[in-house]
Amino acid sequence: MNSIHIKGRLTRDPETRHTDSGKSVTNFSVAVNRRFNRDKADFFNVTAWEKTGEFVEKYFRKGSEIIVEGEMQSREYTDRDGNKRIAWELITSNVEFCGSKSDSAENAGRSYQPATGPVPDINPSPGDFEEIPTDDDLPF
């Protein structure tokens, strides 16, 4: 099974092009923080076709938080120097908003007055989890 779900932020504005047959294809990149080491991130090149890509182009910009669902695909190509290379990209079948309404409204060119107050941290750090019990800790 080849199913990928990522949550991260766009590292650049989406770019939409059209194939010779007229289909639209949108490319963008998403940075995903590592679960237990927030100082490091992994970067995913994402390709969205037609309606999904048009949606991304319209509502997302560099820095927007996004959830992407799809599958990883590799493709071979030859670079300018004649070397064979392999590129990996996430071909998305679905994207979702993730983040505040103000981010989405700003990216769509609309104004929005965000609510005031603290925002809870919903991303736990490794120290937030209880220690897993060993056999010595079990009462039976």
Set out the domains of the chain in order of their start, with CATH numbers.
4-114+121-137 (2.40.50.140)
Higher pLDDT, 56 or 118: 56
Query: What's the rounded Cα separation, in Å, for the pair 9 and 11?
Result: 6
Per-residue pLDDT tens over the stretch 22-78: 999 999 999 999 988 888 999 999 999 999 999 999 999 999 999 999 999 999 999
Query: What's the rounded Cα separation, in Å, for the pair 106 and 101?
Result: 8
Per-residue pLDDT tens over the stretch 82-112: 999 999 999 999 999 987 655 555 555 433 3
